[in-house]
Chain A
Amino acid sequence: MTLPAENVAPQLTRNRRLIIVIGVVIPLLITVVGAFVMALWIPELPNPVASHWGPSGVNGYSTVGGMIALPLMITLAFVAFSAIASWRGGPNGGMLWAHKVMVATSVFLAVSITVLAAGSLAIQRGLESAENAPDPIGVLLAALPIAALMGFLAWLMLPAAERIQPTAVQARPVAGSPTERVYFSTTTRLGPGVVLIAAVALVALGLALAIQAVSNPAELLLPAAVGIFVITLAVSTLSWRITIDHRGLRVRSALGWPRTTIAPDQISSVAVVSVDPLGEFGGYGWRWAPGGRSGIVLSKGEALEVTRMNGKKFIVTMHDAPLAAEALATVAKK
């Protein structure tokens, strides 16, 4: 008996079709249809239209064309990014968890911003001037659940995520006498490429805050607080100090916070694993992944993996992971 080979496209080909259809075509179709509908309303709309609302009503205006084009441009940029990022698939040709998140987010993003833009315009139809345009908070409250539902449906249409089973090399304590004491320390930092991208994003955030400070200082407090928190968190993630001694594993960011300690009696086993930050953790920094894995993920390659007594795993990427694993195994043994 021969297998109907032509019906069984390789998994990667099938996944790429799904990425194109669900992650690119559907989001773009939604935004294009949205743009078309909005374009039909142009004769009834004031120009400029209201595009931003504050506590005391409309405080930002935009051209109709800008309101129509913005969802298209954002969606186009994001679907291109997520399609390229998930194109290669996982090591076994499957779709990784992070790839599924990106494809589903493409749908979520397209629906949410299209509904939001269209909704904000819909309530301005027939108005002489945009000055008294009603607050579109209802549109916002409607757009998010609809978009979340669509994103969830997209998620359901994607195949089960490929589980990366990292080949953990169990570490053994350093050979030596039982009275031996060890101390290990190293620093681990983000690679220059990721730092560059983060720097660009942070500069953009800083600029946005500066513009807000000039144009609308009254509403600066919350964005500024959030912005400064994000910037601080990002900077503190750049570089970490790792120390291992009789007190266990200590991980501390360059700014002193965030930090964490795993005491020797909490450690079940120590291993060296190979980590793919984007595929397994969906990014860089202090990360959480499915399967009870979390840790400091700053680079692709070797990492120290500590399995706690409760089965959860803590991971720190570093260049001298085998040495660290040996030291920690020595400490945990005692």
Chain B
Amino acid sequence: MLVRVDPASETPLFEQLAASIRQSVIDKSVTPGERLPSARELAGSLGVNMHTVLRAYQELRDEGFIELRRGRGAIVAATAHSYDSLTEGVAAIVAEARTQKISLAALTALIREEYQ
């Protein structure tokens, strides 16, 4: 599992963390049942506050990617969905947007509107 954060970026750190770990679950570099590093360890490694890591973990729990268990830390959820077909669909949409020169902001706006 590779986690990348950039403190100089405008995106909040907890969101960067959550995005990185989410990506690891989606591309299967962590597998269901696997234990994620403890918040303390990850915070120490990345030089961020432990509460930032916990907030990212809570967000991922709310999205169903991981389970938080007292005393056992964060575990990749066994019920995590298969993202294979979705990943393909998104790739197709992004490719289509690129050919039509539609910006990322416009594309996300389209997706948000459709989803709500």
Binding site for B on A (CB under 8 A): 174, 176-177, 179-186, 243, 245-247, 320, 323, 326-327
Contacts and interface: CB of A to CB of B under 8 A. Distances in A.
Chain B interface residue number, banded: 10 to 19
Given A183-B42, A184-B1, A186-B1, A177 B6 contact: yes
B8 A323 contact: no
Contact of B46 (A181, A323, A326): A181
B29 A183 contact: no
Contacts of B3: 182-184
Interface in B3-53: 3-9, 29, 37, 42, 45-47
Contacts of A323: 2, 29
Contacts of B45: 183, 243, 245-247
Contacts of A186: 1, 29
Contacts of A246: 45, 47
A320 B9 contact: no
Given A177-B8, A182-B4, A246-B47, 18 more contacts: A174-B2, A174-B4, A176-B4, A179-B7, A181-B4, A181-B5, A181-B7, A181-B46, A182-B3, A183-B3, A183-B45, A184-B1, A185-B37, A243-B45, A245-B46, A247-B45, A323-B2, A323-B29
B75 to A, nearest CB: 14
A185 B74 CA distance: 14
B81 to A, nearest CB: 22
Query: Which secondary structure dominates where chain A touches chain B?
Result: mixed
A84 B18 CA distance: 51
Given A176-B4, A176-B6, A323-B2, A181 B37 contact: no
B46 A320 contact: no
A182 B6 CA distance: 9
A179 B2 contact: no
A184 B4 CA distance: 9
Nearest to A187: B34
A185 B5 contact: no
Contacts of A327: 2
A126 B25 CA distance: 76
Given A245-B45, A246-B45, A179 B6 contact: yes
Contacts of A326: 2
A43 B30 CA distance: 70
In the complex, the 6 A-B pairs of residues with the closest C-beta atoms, listed nearest first: A245-B45, A179-B8, A183-B3, A180-B6, A183-B45, A184-B2
B40 to A, nearest CB: 13
A323 B30 CA distance: 13
B1 A180 contact: no
B8 A182 contact: no
A287 B1 CA distance: 25
A39 B61 CA distance: 76
Contacts of B8: 177, 179
Contacts of A184: 1-3
Nearest to A241: B37
28 contacts: A174-B2, A176-B6, A177-B6, A179-B6, A179-B7, A180-B6, A181-B4, A181-B5, A181-B6, A181-B46, A181-B47, A182-B2, A182-B4, A183-B2, A183-B3, A183-B4, A183-B42, A183-B45, A184-B1, A184-B3, A185-B1, A185-B37, A243-B45, A246-B47, A247-B45, A320-B29, A323-B2, A323-B29
